[in-house]
Amino acid sequence: MQEVTRATAASRFALASAIVLVMVLAAAPYWGSTASLRLLGEIMVYLALASLWNLLAGFTGLVSIGQQAYVGFGGYMLFTICISLGWNPLYAIPIAALVAAPISALVAVLVFRLNGAYFAIGTWVVAEVFRLGFAQMSSLGGGSGLSLPITVMREMASTKAEREALIYWAALLLGTGSITIVYLLLRSRIGLALTAIRDSEVASSSLGVSITRVKLLVYVAVAAATAMVGALVFMQKLRIAPNAAFSVTDWTAFVIFMVVIGGIGTIEGPIIGTLLYFVLRQFLADFGSIYLIVLGGLAILVMMVAPQGIWGFVANRWGLSLFPVGYRVKLQAMPAYNNGKENEYVGRNQAHRDVAAARRNR
């Protein structure tokens, strides 16, 4: 007698609370102050960036430190569309994705030629090329940048409060949407292929999984989504300049720290990491560079002591999974097999962690 299921009690509870939470968050413009709306919007931006980078590095093994290329690109797309075409800024979000996708595919052709570790720096070079390139474009303000005229913003909505709410809802959509899409992607055939790649590239290529195609697909999808986030970020900021748009610290370093501290290669990790980042920031932001040193030190510590991060540690300890991507086989006939502890065999998710742990214990 056995029954195959993905859900656990914890995951059903998590789903129910997530729905309630998203509904409460969606109503934030009606209950929150302008300041809290902005903070929530910023949290959503980082939730999206962290989930996306985690999909890239944690699940696909493409450790990019050049994602700021697409954040800045999305931002400049917003300014191009608003200023030269005079369209509603919100339209820039999907358009940024549509333009970023083919460009990122071209970039991939180049950077995929670099071996894993050098790939990281290669992506950084590309981001530098983007930064220096946009700094040369005088129509977009050159090196000193430009502001979004208020007339353009009025295209979106006439009052400031309405605009703030619209921008916030877009952020909420991107934040929750990124998490949902990563989750659904991992449950799909692509997720299966990613697990196979992570466990063994040789084995997965013999299974007929086209490693390069899956990697390319993920890289392009993440770049497109990151560009959408970029368009939104600079709608919040209303001002863009090359150094801020393509900042490795703001758009990649913080994101990496969030993901590593929260738990790389887990869906829950980036969420935990993002929240922790904002909590820490409340206490340490005044210290500026000290805050960065603390975050960097914390990330190194996590990588060395508990490489699966806070979430990996918690999940291993209590067998929790809020986003079950693997299957669980409930074994009813073989209680002796797992010492009667928990009457189920945790499938892929657990296997993931076992592989990762075995790798690191060596």
Interactions with another protein, residue window 314-353 (CB under 8 A): none
- Classify the C-alpha dihedral 336-338-341-343 as positive or negative: negative
Number of residues that bind another protein (CB under 8 A): 49
Beta-carbon-side half-sphere exposure of residue 11 (alpha carbons within 13 Å): 18
Q: Does 128 bind another protein (CB under 8 A)?
A: yes
Tokens 């209590």 map to which residue?
318
| Residue in 7, 21, 85, 132 binding another protein, rule: CB under 8 A | 132
Are residues 60 and 70 in contact, defined by beta-carbon separation less than 8 angstroms? no
Q: Does 117 bind another protein (CB under 8 A)?
A: yes
Q: Does 241 bind another protein (CB under 8 A)?
A: no
Of 9 and 305, which has the nearer Cβ to another protein?
Answer: 305
Q: Does 65 bind another protein (CB under 8 A)?
A: yes
| Distance from C-alpha of 257 to C-alpha of 263, rounded to nearest angstrom | 10
Spell out where 209-337 has E strands.
239-240, 328-331
| Distance from C-alpha of 72 to C-alpha of 127, rounded to nearest angstrom | 9
Q: Does 95 bind another protein (CB under 8 A)?
A: no
| Distance from C-alpha of 288 to C-alpha of 249, rounded to nearest angstrom | 12
CA 172 and chain centroid, separation: 13
Smallest gap from residue 122 Cβ to another protein (A): 8
Are residues 178 and 46 in contact, defined by beta-carbon separation less than 8 angstroms? no
Q: Which of 242, 220, 276, 239 is nearest to 46 (CA)?
A: 276
Of 93 and 107, which has the nearer Cβ to another protein?
Answer: 107
Q: Does 143 bind another protein (CB under 8 A)?
A: yes
Q: Does 12 bind another protein (CB under 8 A)?
A: no
Q: Does 137 bind another protein (CB under 8 A)?
A: no
Point out which residues pair with 147 in neighbouring strands.
Answer: 239
Of 282 and 289, which has the nearer Cβ to another protein?
Answer: 289
Of 47 and 57, which has the nearer Cβ to another protein?
Answer: 57
Smallest gap from residue 12 Cβ to another protein (A): 32
Smallest gap from residue 333 Cβ to another protein (A): 24
Q: Does 362 bind another protein (CB under 8 A)?
A: yes
Q: Does 35 bind another protein (CB under 8 A)?
A: no
Q: Does 113 bind another protein (CB under 8 A)?
A: yes
Are residues 326 and 6 in contact, defined by beta-carbon separation less than 8 angstroms? yes
Residue count (the chain): 362
| Distance from C-alpha of 249 to C-alpha of 247, rounded to nearest angstrom | 5
Q: Which residues of this protein are in contact with another protein, per CB under 8 A? A: 57-58, 61, 63, 65, 109-110, 113-114, 116-118, 120-122, 124-126, 128-129, 132-133, 135-136, 143, 248-249, 253, 256-257, 260, 264, 289-290, 292-293, 295-297, 299-300, 303-304, 307, 356, 358-360, 362
